[in-house]
Amino acid sequence: MENSNEKNKLNRREFINSGIRVSIGIALGGVSGVLLKNLLSEDTVWQLDPAKCVQCGLCVSNCVMTPSAVKVVHIHDMCGYCDLCGGYFRPEAKTLSTAAENLLCPTNAIIRTFIEEPFFEYNIDEALCIGCGKCVAGCDAFGNGSLQLQVRHDICVNCNQCAIAIDCPADAFRRVPASNPSIFKGFSDSNNIEIT
C-alpha cells in the first residue's frame, strides 16, 4: 500500500513539474513570438494617397504641426512645364504675370522659373506651403496632375492616430512602410521619382 501512495505522489509531482515546464515553455514562446514579430515588422508612417485626395483643405487646419506636415510636391517627371500652369495661375487670371492677383497659391509657395520659350519650371518652397491643395486642384483640373499632396516625414511627428486622417472625408490617409513612405498618383514605384 505504501508503495502505491509513494508512486501516486511521484506521479503528482511529475505532473505538477511537467505542468510548470509546459507553462514556462508557453510563456517563453509567447514572449519570443512578440519580440520576433516586433523585430520583423517594419515601422510605418502616415501618408496621403493623392488618388483619393479631394483637396478639402483639412490638412491645413487639422494637422498637429503648424504649418501642416502635408506639403505639395511637384513631380517633374509628369510636368509639361507649361506657360499656362493650372496649378500656378488662377483660372480667371487676366495676364500670365506673377502679380499676386493672378496666382492661385495663397502663400506664394510656388516658384516659377523660365527655362526656354514656352517652358517654365515650377518648384515648391515647402517653408511657405501650408498644404491647402489649391494648386493641386488647379493642376488636376487644367493640367496633368504633377502637383500632389504628400506627408513630409521630416516634419511629421507620426502620431498614433493622425488628426487629419480622423476627419479626412475621402479616407485618403493610411499607414505605409517607412522604407517606402510616398504614394504618387500615376506611378507604381515612387522610389525613383524626382520631386520638389
**Does one domain contain both 27 and 93?**
no
User: In whole angstroms, what is the distance from residue 188 CA to residue 185 CA?
Assistant: 8
**Does one domain contain both 124 and 161?**
yes
**Does one domain contain both 120 and 171?**
yes
pLDDT score of 120: 95
Count of domains for the chain:
2
pLDDT score of 179: 93
At 113 the three-state DSSP class reads strand
pLDDT score of 135: 97
Q: The pTM is what?
A: 0.73
**Does one domain contain both 17 and 51?**
no
Of the candidates 156, 146, 150, the residue with the CA atom closest to the CA atom of residue 172:
150
Residue 48 placed within a domain = yes
Which amino acid is located at 150 in the chain?
Q
**Does one domain contain both 28 and 74?**
no
Going by C-beta distance under 8 Å and a sequence separation of 6 or more, which residues neighbour residue 39? none
pLDDT score of 36: 47
Residue 195 per-residue DSSP state = B
Range of the domain at 151: 44-177
**Does one domain contain both 21 and 81?**
no
Going by C-beta distance under 8 Å and a sequence separation of 6 or more, which residues neighbour residue 135? 72, 87, 88, 104, 105, 110, 147
**Does one domain contain both 82 and 119?**
yes
Question: Is residue 110 a contact partner of residue 128, using CB atoms and an 8 Å limit?
Answer: no
**Does one domain contain both 115 and 31?**
no
Question: Is residue 167 a contact partner of residue 68, using CB atoms and an 8 Å limit?
Answer: no
Which own/partner pairs from 15-24 qualify as long-range (CB within 8 Å, at least 24 positions apart)?
Answer: none
Say which residue the cell 520638389 belongs to: 196
In the predicted model, residues of the chain with pLDDT beneath 50 are 35-41
Beta bridge pairs of residue 47: 174
**Does one domain contain both 57 and 26?**
no
Q: How far is CA 185 from CA 12, 128, 136, 140, in A?
A: 67, 23, 12, 11
**Does one domain contain both 103 and 173?**
yes
